[in-house]
Amino acid sequence: MTEQQRVNDSAKNQDLDQYRVSAGEDLTTNQGVRVSDTDNSLKIGSRGPSLRDDFHFQEKLTHFDRERIPERVVHARGSGAHGYFQAYESMAEYTKAKFLQDPSVQTPVFVRFSTVVGFRGSADTVRDVRGFAIKFYTEDGNYDMVGNNIPVFFIQDAIKFPDLVHAIKPEPHNEMPQAAAAHDNFWDFISLTPEAMHMIMWVLSDRALPRSFRMMQGFGIHTFRFVNDQGKSRFVKFHWKPMLGVHSMVFDETQKIGGKDPDFNRRDLWESIEKGNFPEYELGVQIIAEEDEYKFDFDILDPTKLIPEELVPVRPIGKMVLNRNPDNFFAETEQVAFQPSNVVPGIDFSDDPLLQGRLMSYHDTQLHRLGSPNFTELPINKSLCPFHNNQRDGRMQMRIPTSTVNYYPNSLGGGQPAPSETEGYVHYPERVEGQKVRERSPSFKDHFTQATLFFNSLSMPEKEHIVQAAHFELGKVEDKGVRERMVNLFNHVDHELAKKVAMGIGIPAPTQSVSENHGKSSAAISQENTTKTA
Protein backbone atom coordinates (compact mmCIF):
# COMPACT_ATOMS: atom_id res chain seq x y z
CA MET A 1 0.00 0.00 0.00
CA THR A 2 1.44 3.40 -0.91
CA GLU A 3 1.73 6.15 1.67
CA GLN A 4 -0.95 8.14 -0.16
CA GLN A 5 -3.38 5.21 -0.02
CA ARG A 6 -2.63 4.82 3.67
CA VAL A 7 -3.44 8.48 4.21
CA ASN A 8 -6.77 8.09 2.49
CA ASP A 9 -7.55 4.77 4.11
CA SER A 10 -6.98 5.80 7.71
CA ALA A 11 -10.02 4.83 9.76
CA LYS A 12 -10.09 8.26 11.41
CA ASN A 13 -9.88 9.95 8.02
CA GLN A 14 -12.92 7.97 6.87
CA ASP A 15 -14.71 8.77 10.12
CA LEU A 16 -14.07 12.49 9.66
CA ASP A 17 -15.45 12.38 6.13
CA GLN A 18 -19.05 12.49 7.35
CA TYR A 19 -18.36 15.88 8.95
CA ARG A 20 -16.52 17.54 6.08
CA VAL A 21 -18.50 20.22 4.31
CA SER A 22 -17.42 21.86 1.09
CA ALA A 23 -18.07 25.51 0.28
CA GLY A 24 -21.27 24.59 -1.61
CA GLU A 25 -22.51 26.53 -4.58
CA ASP A 26 -25.25 28.47 -2.86
CA LEU A 27 -24.84 30.94 -0.03
CA THR A 28 -27.51 30.22 2.55
CA THR A 29 -28.40 31.12 6.13
CA ASN A 30 -27.82 28.54 8.86
CA GLN A 31 -31.42 27.48 8.25
CA GLY A 32 -30.60 26.73 4.62
CA VAL A 33 -32.48 29.72 3.18
CA ARG A 34 -30.79 31.04 0.04
CA VAL A 35 -29.23 34.50 0.51
CA SER A 36 -29.73 37.10 -2.19
CA ASP A 37 -27.30 39.83 -1.01
CA THR A 38 -24.62 39.58 1.66
CA ASP A 39 -22.96 42.97 1.03
CA ASN A 40 -25.73 45.38 1.98
CA SER A 41 -27.78 45.36 5.16
CA LEU A 42 -31.52 45.96 4.95
CA LYS A 43 -32.31 49.68 5.50
CA ILE A 44 -35.05 52.21 5.20
CA GLY A 45 -33.80 54.07 2.18
CA SER A 46 -30.19 53.74 1.09
CA ARG A 47 -29.02 56.22 3.81
CA GLY A 48 -31.45 55.19 6.56
CA PRO A 49 -31.22 52.97 9.68
CA SER A 50 -30.88 49.17 9.48
CA LEU A 51 -33.87 46.98 10.18
CA ARG A 52 -34.32 44.18 12.70
CA ASP A 53 -36.10 42.21 9.97
CA ASP A 54 -32.67 41.51 8.48
CA PHE A 55 -32.28 37.97 9.85
CA HIS A 56 -29.32 37.29 7.56
CA PHE A 57 -27.40 40.33 8.87
CA GLN A 58 -28.22 39.41 12.48
CA GLU A 59 -27.16 35.81 12.07
CA LYS A 60 -23.96 36.74 10.25
CA LEU A 61 -22.94 39.22 12.92
CA THR A 62 -24.00 37.32 16.03
CA HIS A 63 -22.20 34.18 14.88
CA PHE A 64 -19.11 36.25 14.15
CA ASP A 65 -19.34 37.82 17.62
CA ARG A 66 -19.00 34.33 19.11
CA GLU A 67 -16.17 32.99 16.95
CA ARG A 68 -13.55 32.99 19.67
CA ILE A 69 -13.35 30.49 22.49
CA PRO A 70 -10.91 30.83 25.39
CA GLU A 71 -7.42 29.81 24.38
CA ARG A 72 -5.74 27.05 26.37
CA VAL A 73 -4.53 28.40 29.71
CA VAL A 74 -1.12 26.96 28.79
CA HIS A 75 0.10 25.53 25.45
CA ALA A 76 -2.20 28.01 23.65
CA ARG A 77 -0.13 28.06 20.48
CA GLY A 78 -0.03 24.77 18.69
CA SER A 79 0.16 22.97 15.35
CA GLY A 80 -1.54 19.67 14.58
CA ALA A 81 -1.10 16.76 12.19
CA HIS A 82 -2.75 13.42 11.49
CA GLY A 83 -0.89 10.17 11.08
CA TYR A 84 -0.60 6.64 12.31
CA PHE A 85 1.32 4.54 14.80
CA GLN A 86 2.52 1.02 14.14
CA ALA A 87 4.17 -1.30 16.68
CA TYR A 88 7.36 -3.14 15.67
CA GLU A 89 6.37 -6.30 17.55
CA SER A 90 3.78 -7.51 20.03
CA MET A 91 4.25 -6.09 23.52
CA ALA A 92 1.75 -8.59 24.97
CA GLU A 93 4.30 -9.74 27.56
CA TYR A 94 4.12 -6.26 29.13
CA THR A 95 0.78 -4.71 28.22
CA LYS A 96 -2.61 -5.70 26.93
CA ALA A 97 -2.99 -2.31 25.19
CA LYS A 98 -4.53 -3.31 21.82
CA PHE A 99 -2.50 -0.87 19.74
CA LEU A 100 0.71 -2.53 20.97
CA GLN A 101 -0.22 -6.13 20.10
CA ASP A 102 -0.12 -6.56 16.35
CA PRO A 103 2.66 -5.14 14.16
CA SER A 104 0.39 -5.22 11.11
CA VAL A 105 -2.10 -2.77 12.64
CA GLN A 106 -1.88 0.96 12.00
CA THR A 107 -3.55 3.01 14.71
CA PRO A 108 -4.67 6.49 13.60
CA VAL A 109 -3.24 9.38 15.63
CA PHE A 110 -3.65 13.14 15.89
CA VAL A 111 -0.66 15.05 17.25
CA ARG A 112 -0.45 18.60 18.54
CA PHE A 113 2.90 20.31 19.09
CA SER A 114 2.86 23.51 21.10
CA THR A 115 4.79 26.14 22.98
CA VAL A 116 3.77 26.52 26.62
CA VAL A 117 3.83 30.16 27.60
CA GLY A 118 2.85 32.30 24.61
CA PHE A 119 -0.59 33.28 23.45
CA ARG A 120 -2.25 31.65 20.45
CA GLY A 121 -0.71 34.23 18.13
CA SER A 122 2.78 34.27 19.65
CA ALA A 123 6.00 33.33 17.86
CA ASP A 124 7.14 29.73 17.43
CA THR A 125 10.82 30.33 17.95
CA VAL A 126 10.88 31.50 21.58
CA ARG A 127 12.90 29.82 24.33
CA ASP A 128 10.26 27.54 25.83
CA VAL A 129 9.29 23.95 26.47
CA ARG A 130 7.41 22.32 23.56
CA GLY A 131 4.28 20.23 24.09
CA PHE A 132 4.16 16.86 22.31
CA ALA A 133 0.64 15.43 22.66
CA ILE A 134 -0.67 12.37 20.82
CA LYS A 135 -4.21 11.05 20.63
CA PHE A 136 -4.26 7.38 19.60
CA TYR A 137 -7.67 6.34 18.23
CA THR A 138 -7.37 2.70 19.35
CA GLU A 139 -9.84 -0.17 19.06
CA ASP A 140 -10.29 0.04 22.83
CA GLY A 141 -10.95 3.77 22.95
CA ASN A 142 -8.80 6.88 22.88
CA TYR A 143 -5.41 6.89 24.54
CA ASP A 144 -3.71 10.27 25.01
CA MET A 145 0.01 10.59 25.68
CA VAL A 146 0.39 14.22 26.72
CA GLY A 147 4.10 14.92 26.95
CA ASN A 148 6.77 17.52 26.32
CA ASN A 149 10.09 17.69 24.46
CA ILE A 150 12.01 17.78 27.76
CA PRO A 151 12.07 14.63 29.93
CA VAL A 152 11.51 16.31 33.30
CA PHE A 153 9.27 19.06 34.72
CA PHE A 154 9.60 22.23 36.82
CA ILE A 155 7.70 21.10 39.90
CA GLN A 156 7.03 17.92 41.83
CA ASP A 157 3.45 18.48 42.96
CA ALA A 158 0.54 19.66 40.80
CA ILE A 159 -0.66 21.99 43.54
CA LYS A 160 2.19 24.32 42.54
CA PHE A 161 1.15 24.47 38.87
CA PRO A 162 -0.97 27.65 39.09
CA ASP A 163 1.93 29.42 40.85
CA LEU A 164 4.42 28.26 38.22
CA VAL A 165 2.17 29.38 35.38
CA HIS A 166 1.34 32.73 36.98
CA ALA A 167 5.05 33.38 37.42
CA ILE A 168 5.98 32.38 33.87
CA LYS A 169 3.14 34.11 32.00
CA PRO A 170 3.32 37.83 31.16
CA GLU A 171 3.49 40.22 34.08
CA PRO A 172 0.02 40.87 35.53
CA HIS A 173 0.17 44.68 35.40
CA ASN A 174 1.41 45.30 31.86
CA GLU A 175 0.81 41.92 30.16
CA MET A 176 4.28 42.10 28.68
CA PRO A 177 5.70 38.80 27.55
CA GLN A 178 8.51 38.12 29.93
CA ALA A 179 11.30 37.24 27.52
CA ALA A 180 11.22 40.69 25.97
CA ALA A 181 11.03 42.75 29.13
CA ALA A 182 12.11 42.83 32.74
CA HIS A 183 10.67 39.67 34.17
CA ASP A 184 11.48 39.33 37.80
CA ASN A 185 8.44 37.20 38.62
CA PHE A 186 9.53 34.01 36.90
CA TRP A 187 13.07 34.08 38.28
CA ASP A 188 11.81 35.09 41.71
CA PHE A 189 9.63 31.97 41.75
CA ILE A 190 12.43 29.73 40.42
CA SER A 191 14.98 31.12 42.86
CA LEU A 192 12.68 29.96 45.67
CA THR A 193 11.91 26.62 43.99
CA PRO A 194 15.11 24.55 43.92
CA GLU A 195 13.21 21.49 42.64
CA ALA A 196 13.01 23.32 39.27
CA MET A 197 16.78 23.43 38.73
CA HIS A 198 17.05 20.27 36.65
CA MET A 199 14.31 21.54 34.32
CA ILE A 200 15.85 25.01 34.26
CA MET A 201 19.12 23.57 32.95
CA TRP A 202 17.20 22.00 30.05
CA VAL A 203 15.19 25.18 29.46
CA LEU A 204 18.36 27.29 29.24
CA SER A 205 19.91 24.73 26.89
CA ASP A 206 19.48 24.46 23.11
CA ARG A 207 16.69 21.90 23.70
CA ALA A 208 14.34 24.82 24.27
CA LEU A 209 15.01 26.16 20.74
CA PRO A 210 14.05 23.26 18.43
CA ARG A 211 14.93 23.69 14.77
CA SER A 212 11.73 21.89 13.80
CA PHE A 213 8.91 19.89 15.34
CA ARG A 214 10.23 17.11 13.09
CA MET A 215 13.55 17.22 14.92
CA MET A 216 12.67 17.14 18.59
CA GLN A 217 12.21 14.36 21.10
CA GLY A 218 9.06 13.75 23.10
CA PHE A 219 8.70 12.32 26.59
CA GLY A 220 5.79 11.06 28.66
CA ILE A 221 7.84 12.33 31.66
CA HIS A 222 5.93 10.61 34.44
CA THR A 223 6.36 6.98 35.29
CA PHE A 224 3.29 5.08 34.09
CA ARG A 225 2.34 1.42 34.34
CA PHE A 226 2.08 -1.28 31.71
CA VAL A 227 -0.32 -4.06 32.77
CA ASN A 228 -0.50 -7.35 30.87
CA ASP A 229 -3.46 -9.69 30.52
CA GLN A 230 -2.40 -11.64 33.61
CA GLY A 231 -2.70 -8.44 35.61
CA LYS A 232 1.07 -8.12 36.07
CA SER A 233 2.24 -4.54 36.26
CA ARG A 234 5.59 -2.96 35.40
CA PHE A 235 6.58 0.70 35.48
CA VAL A 236 7.19 2.40 32.14
CA LYS A 237 8.60 5.67 30.82
CA PHE A 238 7.79 6.77 27.26
CA HIS A 239 10.25 8.35 24.80
CA TRP A 240 9.79 9.60 21.22
CA LYS A 241 12.89 9.92 19.04
CA PRO A 242 12.65 11.85 15.76
CA MET A 243 14.03 9.83 12.84
CA LEU A 244 15.70 13.02 11.54
CA GLY A 245 17.70 13.36 14.77
CA VAL A 246 17.50 16.14 17.37
CA HIS A 247 18.44 19.59 16.04
CA SER A 248 18.22 23.00 17.64
CA MET A 249 18.78 26.60 16.66
CA VAL A 250 21.07 29.05 18.41
CA PHE A 251 19.39 31.89 20.28
CA ASP A 252 20.50 34.62 17.89
CA GLU A 253 19.01 32.70 14.96
CA THR A 254 15.70 32.27 16.79
CA GLN A 255 15.51 36.02 17.43
CA LYS A 256 16.04 36.86 13.79
CA ILE A 257 13.83 34.11 12.39
CA GLY A 258 11.10 34.91 14.92
CA GLY A 259 11.10 38.51 13.72
CA LYS A 260 10.77 37.51 10.09
CA ASP A 261 8.58 34.44 10.36
CA PRO A 262 6.82 33.87 13.69
CA ASP A 263 5.24 30.73 12.15
CA PHE A 264 8.61 29.15 11.43
CA ASN A 265 7.99 25.76 13.11
CA ARG A 266 4.34 25.63 12.09
CA ARG A 267 5.17 26.35 8.45
CA ASP A 268 7.96 23.77 8.47
CA LEU A 269 5.59 21.07 9.74
CA TRP A 270 2.83 21.98 7.30
CA GLU A 271 5.06 22.27 4.25
CA SER A 272 6.97 19.06 5.00
CA ILE A 273 3.74 17.11 5.15
CA GLU A 274 2.40 18.79 2.00
CA LYS A 275 5.60 17.80 0.17
CA GLY A 276 5.40 14.20 1.37
CA ASN A 277 8.39 14.53 3.74
CA PHE A 278 6.42 12.88 6.51
CA PRO A 279 7.81 13.42 10.02
CA GLU A 280 8.58 10.13 11.76
CA TYR A 281 9.26 9.33 15.39
CA GLU A 282 10.21 6.09 17.06
CA LEU A 283 8.45 5.22 20.32
CA GLY A 284 10.73 3.76 22.97
CA VAL A 285 10.03 2.51 26.47
CA GLN A 286 12.05 2.06 29.62
CA ILE A 287 10.48 -0.80 31.53
CA ILE A 288 11.10 -1.23 35.25
CA ALA A 289 10.01 -4.28 37.25
CA GLU A 290 7.78 -3.52 40.25
CA GLU A 291 10.44 -5.06 42.52
CA ASP A 292 12.94 -2.46 41.27
CA GLU A 293 10.83 0.53 42.30
CA TYR A 294 13.25 1.52 45.09
CA LYS A 295 16.55 0.52 43.54
CA PHE A 296 17.46 3.97 42.18
CA ASP A 297 19.04 6.81 44.15
CA PHE A 298 16.05 8.98 43.19
CA ASP A 299 12.32 8.32 43.35
CA ILE A 300 10.76 7.11 40.10
CA LEU A 301 7.59 9.00 41.11
CA ASP A 302 9.49 12.31 41.07
CA PRO A 303 8.83 14.10 37.73
CA THR A 304 11.96 16.25 38.10
CA LYS A 305 14.03 13.11 37.53
CA LEU A 306 14.70 10.98 34.47
CA ILE A 307 15.91 7.41 34.50
CA PRO A 308 19.37 7.48 32.89
CA GLU A 309 19.49 5.27 29.81
CA GLU A 310 22.68 3.68 31.20
CA LEU A 311 20.57 2.27 34.02
CA VAL A 312 17.51 1.28 31.99
CA PRO A 313 17.97 1.19 28.21
CA VAL A 314 15.25 2.56 25.95
CA ARG A 315 13.65 -0.21 23.92
CA PRO A 316 12.20 0.89 20.55
CA ILE A 317 8.69 -0.52 20.16
CA GLY A 318 7.08 1.25 17.22
CA LYS A 319 6.96 4.16 14.84
CA MET A 320 4.65 7.12 14.30
CA VAL A 321 4.31 8.78 10.89
CA LEU A 322 2.57 12.14 10.43
CA ASN A 323 1.19 12.16 6.92
CA ARG A 324 -1.80 14.49 6.69
CA ASN A 325 -2.41 18.12 7.53
CA PRO A 326 -5.69 19.04 9.23
CA ASP A 327 -8.52 20.30 7.01
CA ASN A 328 -9.46 23.03 9.43
CA PHE A 329 -7.36 24.57 12.19
CA PHE A 330 -10.18 25.44 14.56
CA ALA A 331 -12.21 22.24 14.18
CA GLU A 332 -9.19 20.01 14.70
CA THR A 333 -6.10 21.64 16.20
CA GLU A 334 -8.00 24.07 18.43
CA GLN A 335 -10.85 21.81 19.50
CA VAL A 336 -8.77 18.71 20.16
CA ALA A 337 -8.85 17.86 23.87
CA PHE A 338 -5.99 15.77 25.21
CA GLN A 339 -6.16 14.39 28.73
CA PRO A 340 -3.51 12.39 30.57
CA SER A 341 -6.46 10.56 32.16
CA ASN A 342 -7.50 9.11 28.77
CA VAL A 343 -5.97 5.65 29.06
CA VAL A 344 -6.91 2.25 27.66
CA PRO A 345 -6.71 -1.22 29.24
CA GLY A 346 -3.03 -2.14 29.63
CA ILE A 347 -1.91 1.38 30.59
CA ASP A 348 -2.30 2.78 34.09
CA PHE A 349 -1.01 5.61 36.26
CA SER A 350 1.62 5.83 38.95
CA ASP A 351 1.28 7.92 42.11
CA ASP A 352 3.52 10.69 40.77
CA PRO A 353 1.90 13.71 42.51
CA LEU A 354 2.25 15.87 39.40
CA LEU A 355 0.49 13.29 37.25
CA GLN A 356 -2.22 12.83 39.86
CA GLY A 357 -3.16 16.53 39.62
CA ARG A 358 -3.13 16.43 35.83
CA LEU A 359 -5.67 13.61 35.88
CA MET A 360 -8.29 16.14 37.00
CA SER A 361 -7.11 19.45 35.54
CA TYR A 362 -7.38 18.78 31.80
CA HIS A 363 -11.00 17.63 31.88
CA ASP A 364 -11.89 20.54 34.11
CA THR A 365 -10.27 23.14 31.85
CA GLN A 366 -11.81 21.60 28.73
CA LEU A 367 -15.29 21.86 30.20
CA HIS A 368 -14.57 25.56 30.46
CA ARG A 369 -12.60 26.00 27.22
CA LEU A 370 -14.92 24.02 24.98
CA GLY A 371 -18.01 24.99 26.92
CA SER A 372 -19.92 21.72 27.08
CA PRO A 373 -19.60 18.27 28.63
CA ASN A 374 -20.30 16.92 25.14
CA PHE A 375 -16.89 17.91 23.75
CA THR A 376 -16.05 14.21 23.35
CA GLU A 377 -18.60 14.21 20.51
CA LEU A 378 -16.62 16.74 18.47
CA PRO A 379 -15.28 14.95 15.38
CA ILE A 380 -11.61 15.28 16.36
CA ASN A 381 -12.22 13.99 19.90
CA LYS A 382 -14.70 11.22 19.11
CA SER A 383 -13.32 7.72 19.62
CA LEU A 384 -13.35 5.45 16.59
CA CYS A 385 -14.98 2.68 18.56
CA PRO A 386 -18.57 3.47 19.54
CA PHE A 387 -19.27 4.91 22.96
CA HIS A 388 -22.46 4.36 24.92
CA ASN A 389 -23.40 5.23 28.46
CA ASN A 390 -26.19 6.75 30.50
CA GLN A 391 -24.84 10.27 30.41
CA ARG A 392 -27.49 12.43 28.82
CA ASP A 393 -28.20 15.89 27.53
CA GLY A 394 -26.06 18.92 28.28
CA ARG A 395 -25.23 21.81 25.97
CA MET A 396 -24.75 20.90 22.32
CA GLN A 397 -25.70 17.25 22.51
CA MET A 398 -24.81 16.18 18.99
CA ARG A 399 -26.14 12.63 19.08
CA ILE A 400 -29.70 11.39 19.25
CA PRO A 401 -29.76 8.58 21.79
CA THR A 402 -32.62 6.31 20.76
CA SER A 403 -32.62 4.02 23.79
CA THR A 404 -35.41 4.67 26.29
CA VAL A 405 -33.32 3.13 29.08
CA ASN A 406 -30.78 5.54 30.55
CA TYR A 407 -30.06 4.09 33.96
CA TYR A 408 -28.33 1.09 35.50
CA PRO A 409 -29.16 -1.53 36.73
CA ASN A 410 -31.74 -2.22 34.09
CA SER A 411 -33.50 -5.19 32.58
CA LEU A 412 -35.16 -3.42 29.65
CA GLY A 413 -32.26 -3.31 27.25
CA GLY A 414 -29.75 -0.66 28.43
CA GLY A 415 -25.95 -0.81 28.47
CA GLN A 416 -24.19 -3.27 30.77
CA PRO A 417 -20.66 -3.11 32.22
CA ALA A 418 -18.21 -5.63 30.80
CA PRO A 419 -19.07 -9.16 31.94
CA SER A 420 -15.49 -10.02 32.85
CA GLU A 421 -12.47 -8.16 34.17
CA THR A 422 -10.56 -8.98 31.02
CA GLU A 423 -12.85 -6.85 28.86
CA GLY A 424 -13.44 -3.60 30.73
CA TYR A 425 -10.88 -1.16 32.13
CA VAL A 426 -9.79 -2.34 35.56
CA HIS A 427 -7.53 -0.08 37.60
CA TYR A 428 -4.38 -1.81 38.75
CA PRO A 429 -5.08 -2.89 42.35
CA GLU A 430 -2.04 -1.19 43.80
CA ARG A 431 -1.71 -1.65 47.55
CA VAL A 432 -1.63 1.73 49.30
CA GLU A 433 -1.65 2.62 52.96
CA GLY A 434 -0.67 5.64 55.02
CA GLN A 435 -1.87 8.69 56.88
CA LYS A 436 -3.43 11.71 55.20
CA VAL A 437 -0.64 14.29 55.14
CA ARG A 438 0.33 17.41 53.22
CA GLU A 439 3.97 16.48 52.72
CA ARG A 440 6.65 15.99 50.13
CA SER A 441 8.33 12.59 50.28
CA PRO A 442 11.93 12.82 51.58
CA SER A 443 12.85 10.70 48.55
CA PHE A 444 12.10 13.77 46.37
CA LYS A 445 14.63 16.05 48.04
CA ASP A 446 17.77 15.88 45.85
CA HIS A 447 17.30 18.68 43.32
CA PHE A 448 20.78 19.01 41.92
CA THR A 449 22.44 15.66 41.12
CA GLN A 450 20.59 15.23 37.83
CA ALA A 451 20.92 18.94 36.98
CA THR A 452 24.68 18.48 37.29
CA LEU A 453 24.52 15.21 35.33
CA PHE A 454 22.76 17.01 32.48
CA PHE A 455 25.21 19.94 32.53
CA ASN A 456 28.19 17.56 32.49
CA SER A 457 26.76 15.68 29.52
CA LEU A 458 26.94 18.79 27.31
CA SER A 459 29.74 19.81 24.94
CA MET A 460 31.65 23.03 25.62
CA PRO A 461 29.63 25.12 23.11
CA GLU A 462 26.39 23.79 24.61
CA LYS A 463 27.58 24.72 28.10
CA GLU A 464 28.50 28.16 26.82
CA HIS A 465 24.97 28.54 25.39
CA ILE A 466 23.57 27.91 28.89
CA VAL A 467 25.77 30.66 30.31
CA GLN A 468 24.71 33.06 27.56
CA ALA A 469 21.05 32.16 28.09
CA ALA A 470 21.39 32.82 31.82
CA HIS A 471 23.05 36.18 31.11
CA PHE A 472 20.24 37.16 28.76
CA GLU A 473 17.43 35.97 31.02
CA LEU A 474 18.77 36.99 34.42
CA GLY A 475 20.36 40.14 33.01
CA LYS A 476 16.83 41.52 32.69
CA VAL A 477 15.95 40.79 36.31
CA GLU A 478 15.91 44.07 38.22
CA ASP A 479 15.84 42.65 41.75
CA LYS A 480 19.37 41.96 42.94
CA GLY A 481 18.19 39.46 45.56
CA VAL A 482 16.60 37.30 42.86
CA ARG A 483 19.83 37.32 40.82
CA GLU A 484 21.86 36.40 43.92
CA ARG A 485 19.57 33.53 44.77
CA MET A 486 19.81 32.18 41.22
CA VAL A 487 23.60 32.28 41.35
CA ASN A 488 23.41 30.36 44.62
CA LEU A 489 21.27 27.71 42.94
CA PHE A 490 23.61 27.47 39.93
CA ASN A 491 26.43 27.02 42.44
CA HIS A 492 24.67 23.88 43.66
CA VAL A 493 24.73 22.59 40.08
CA ASP A 494 28.25 23.57 39.04
CA HIS A 495 30.69 26.01 40.58
CA GLU A 496 32.27 27.17 37.30
CA LEU A 497 28.82 27.71 35.81
CA ALA A 498 27.76 29.81 38.80
CA LYS A 499 30.91 31.96 38.55
CA LYS A 500 30.38 32.59 34.84
CA VAL A 501 26.71 33.42 35.29
CA ALA A 502 27.47 35.74 38.22
CA MET A 503 30.04 37.70 36.21
CA GLY A 504 27.54 38.51 33.47
CA ILE A 505 24.75 39.75 35.76
CA GLY A 506 26.54 42.02 38.22
CA ILE A 507 26.67 39.60 41.15
CA PRO A 508 29.89 38.69 43.04
CA ALA A 509 31.07 35.26 41.96
CA PRO A 510 30.65 32.58 44.64
CA THR A 511 33.96 31.69 46.20
CA GLN A 512 33.17 28.14 47.26
CA SER A 513 31.65 25.15 45.57
CA VAL A 514 28.57 23.77 47.33
CA SER A 515 28.17 20.54 45.41
CA GLU A 516 28.23 18.73 48.75
CA ASN A 517 24.78 20.23 49.30
CA HIS A 518 23.24 17.76 46.87
CA GLY A 519 20.44 16.15 48.76
CA LYS A 520 19.43 19.20 50.79
CA SER A 521 15.69 19.61 50.92
CA SER A 522 13.86 22.18 48.87
CA ALA A 523 12.66 23.90 52.04
CA ALA A 524 16.20 24.10 53.44
CA ILE A 525 17.59 25.72 50.29
CA SER A 526 14.63 28.10 49.91
CA GLN A 527 15.22 29.02 53.55
CA GLU A 528 18.91 29.53 52.84
CA ASN A 529 18.04 31.75 49.88
CA THR A 530 15.51 33.75 51.86
CA THR A 531 17.80 34.38 54.82
CA LYS A 532 20.63 35.37 52.48
CA THR A 533 18.60 38.23 51.10
CA ALA A 534 16.85 39.20 54.34
Which residues form the catalytic set?
75, 148
Residue 267 assigned ligand-binding role? no
Q: Which residue number places its CB atom closest to ligand HEM? A: 131
Question: Residue 530: helix, strand or coil by DSSP?
Answer: helix
- Whether 369 has a binding-site annotation, put simply, is yes
**H-helix or E-strand containing 489?**
helix 480-493
Contact positions toward ligand HEM, by CB under 6 A? 72-75, 78, 112, 114, 131, 133, 146-148, 153, 158, 161, 221, 303, 336-338, 354, 357-358, 361-362, 365-366, 369
- Least Cβ distance, residue 132 to ligand HEM (angstroms): 6
* Least distance between ligand HEM and beta carbon 151 (Å): 9
Minimum gap (Å) between residue 220 Cβ and ligand HEM: 8
Closer CB to ligand HEM, 161 or 349, in the complex? 161
Distance CA 469, CA 251 (A): 8
Q: Do 386 and 400 touch, CB atoms closer than 8 A?
A: no
SS3 assignment for 236-269: EEEEEEECCCCCECCHHHHHHHHHHCCCHHHHHH
Task: Classify 143 as helix, strand or coil.
Answer: strand
H/E run at residue 285: strand 280-289
Determine whether the annotation assigns residue 112 to a binding site.
Answer: yes
Determine if residue 88 is labeled as part of a ligand binding site: no
Give dist(CA 434, CA 446) in Å, integer.
Answer: 23
* Cα(337)–Cα(127) distance, integer angstroms: 25
Task: Please give the DSSP secondary-structure letter assigned to residue 516.
Answer: G
Residue of 154, 136, 33 lying closest to 84 (CA atoms)? 136
Question: Measured from the CB of residue 1, what is the shortest distance to ligand HEM in angstroms?
Answer: 29
Q: Which is nearer to ligand HEM, 153 or 226 (CB)?
A: 153
CB of 445 to ligand HEM, least distance (A): 19
Compute the Cα dihedral for 167, 172, 175, 179 and give only its sign. Answer: negative
Nearest to 448 by CA among 493, 495, 488: 493
Give the Cα separation of 210 and 341 in Å (integer): 28
Among residues 199 and 249, whose Cβ is nearest to ligand HEM?
199
Is the CB of 257 or the CB of 367 nearer to ligand HEM?
A: 367
315 labelled binding-site residue:
no
Smaller CB separation from ligand HEM, 96 or 130: 130
Q: 214 labelled as ligand-binding?
A: no
The annotated binding site is made up of 72, 112, 161, 358, 362, 369
The annotated binding site for heme is made up of 72, 112, 161, 358, 362, 369
